[in-house]
């Protein structure tokens, strides 16, 4: 049974922001960061509500870069499609000729075989922390020394602080570019190391087939940012020719139910004959009773409003659940429904089983309120949130400072999947102390259908 969808909502289109005057004063920013604006309690249900909420913002928008704010809000509220262009690559490789060849071959020979690929997926809320100026070694997180993967799908949340300046202003693309640079360096440094080690073992007898030297390098096929959310997809060079129809779709669920401080970026691509969709989410925050319903609402909005642009001549999937292989990852923000003292005591005892019995995501799925038909692997790791900076100590496990918000440990960061042809091999957290979250990663074995008559073509 598929997740219920709310068809009466209209998708939105991500638009490039207009130039803006100097930033507003701290006083104006404070007005925008008040509790009234931190999260829309429910999605927009009609245009009248959208207009009334827009009118609330107008006095502030007169001060806060008027053209920019008006453009961003009106485009979000009036657009009819949430599909957007990727930030990188800036141009799409032409595939029309390749599609014609494939369609011709299909008409002549429908023989297919199944191949297995390894896909690395990870989510990391970096808490608004930019990569250190002296660099950041990502090889441990990306597991590059110990194994070889065909595809990397990486999702980030809060690559910039979720301030009014960042929500209403232009995207800070330098931060995303820095993360992509570090990812590429880690993947290709390690692949070069592995290749060099393999060649060294062969000694004087080694042979270099055509293209072998670059087959293990990784290429970024798609990267997209929406405020603090970033998705980056990398594939090995030897299968990059087999990747087609990459696309992206952004859905904002944050301020006024449409801005990008919360929401999702979904990416779509086809590997041979199999379609993939990966959804990176940052759902509604909050540790109060009933806040999990806001998270459920965000998830349903994402499923309802995500719609990829259709292909003019091919029957490509446009909705998330129409794809063959679907993975959803991110800071889903589901908490543990226990009193703070009980939770902290169980965390100190490392009694994960009892805590997981009260995990909100598991509860909401079990009663059928969200993610019907989705799967998650066994959780054997400690909660991923919330830590003191550069520390292994959870908030609340040591004396809380005066005025410090309550933050009970929880498994906020998750990776789930939907459909057949996916087998989870690994599900674990990593130990980077960059932010108040720990990254979570999963290794999947994915089945991919290949037209056998195309095998020789893809080798060129």
Tens digits of residue pLDDT in 77-99? 655 456 777 887 754 444 445 55
pLDDT of residue 22: 38
This prediction has a pTM of: 0.79
Query: What pLDDT does residue 172 have?
Result: 87
Q: What is the pLDDT of residue 294?
A: 97
Domain residue spans in the chain?
111-189+215-451
Please say whether the beta carbons of 415 and 79 come within 8 A: no
- At residue 195, the pLDDT reads 52
Task: Give 170's contacts (C-beta < 8 A, 6+ positions apart).
Answer: 16, 17, 20, 68
Q: What is the pLDDT of residue 402?
A: 60
Strands (E), 52-159: 83-84, 112-125, 151-157
The two tokens of residue 10 are 């209209």
Structure tokens at 299: 């998830």
The domain defined by 111-189+215-451 carries CATH number 3.60.10.10: yes
**Radius of gyration over alpha carbons of the chain, in Å?**
23
Residues 88-113 as b/e (b if ≥16 CB within 10 A, e otherwise) read beeeeeeeeeeeeebeebeeeeeeee
pLDDT at residue 134, rounded to an integer:
80
Instruction: Report d(CA 54, CA 77) in Å as an integer.
Output: 10
89 cis-preceded (ω within 30 degrees of 0)? yes
- Using DSSP's 3-state secondary structure scheme, residue 137 falls into coil
Residues in the chain predicted with pLDDT less than 50, given as ranges, are 1-47, 51, 61-62, 80, 91-96, 196-213, 459-460
């Amino acid at each position: 049974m598929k997740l219920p969808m709310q068809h009466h909502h209209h998708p939105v289109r991500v638009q490039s922001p207009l130039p803006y005057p100097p930033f507003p004063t701290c006083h104006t920013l404070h007005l925008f960061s008040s509790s009234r604006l931190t999260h829309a309690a429910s999605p927009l249900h009609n245009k009248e509500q959208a207009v009334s909420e827009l009118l609330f913002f107008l006095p502030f928008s007169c001060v806060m870069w008027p053209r920019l704010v008006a453009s961003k809000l009106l485009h979000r509220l009036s657009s009819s499609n949430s599909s957007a262009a990727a930030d990188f690559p800036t141009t799409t490789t032409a595939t029309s000729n390749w599609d014609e060849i494939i369609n011709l071959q299909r008409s002549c020979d429908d023989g297919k075989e199944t191949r297995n690929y390894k896909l690395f997926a990870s989510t990391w809320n970096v808490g608004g922390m930019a990569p250190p100026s002296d660099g950041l070694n990502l090889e441990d997180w990306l597991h590059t020394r110990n194994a070889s993967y065909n595809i990397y799908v990486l999702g980030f949340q809060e690559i910039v602080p979720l301030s009014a300046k960042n929500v209403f202003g232009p995207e800070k693309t330098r931060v995303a570019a820095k993360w992509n640079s570090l990812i590429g360096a880690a993947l290709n440094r390690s692949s070069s190391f592995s290749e060099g080690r393999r060649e060294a073992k062969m000694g004087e007898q080694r042979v270099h087939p055509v293209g072998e030297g670059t087959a293990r390098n990784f290429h970024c096929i798609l990267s997209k940012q929406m405020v603090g959310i970033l998705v980056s997809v990398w594939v090995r060079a030897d299968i990059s020719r087999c990747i087609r129809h990459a696309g992206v779709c952004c859905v904002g669920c944050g301020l006024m139910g449409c801005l990008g401080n919360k929401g999702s970026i979904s990416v779509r691509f086809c590997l041979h004959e199999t379609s993939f969709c990966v959804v990176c989410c940052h759902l509604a925050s909050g540790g109060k009773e009933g806040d999990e319903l806001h998270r459920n609402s965000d998830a349903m909005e994402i499923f309802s409003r995500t719609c990829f642009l259709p292909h003019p001549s091919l029957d490509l999937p446009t909705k998330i659940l129409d794809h063959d292989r679907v993975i959803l990852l991110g800071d889903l923000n589901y908490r543990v429904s226990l009193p703070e003292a009980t939770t902290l005591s169980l965390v100190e005892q490392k009694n994960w089983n009892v805590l997981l019995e009260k995990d909100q995501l598991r509860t909401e799925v079990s009663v059928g309120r969200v993610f019907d038909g989705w799967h998650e692997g066994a959780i054997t790791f400690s909660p991923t949130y919330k830590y003191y900076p550069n520390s292994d100590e959870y908030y609340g496990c040591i004396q809380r400072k005066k005025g410090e918000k309550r933050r009970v440990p929880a498994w906020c960061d998750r990776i789930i999947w939907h459909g057949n042809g996916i087998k989870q091999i690994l599900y674990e957290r990593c130990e980077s102390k960059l932010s108040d979250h720990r990254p979570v990663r999963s290794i999947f074995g994915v089945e991919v259908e290949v037209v056998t008559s195309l095998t020789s073509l893809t080798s060129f």
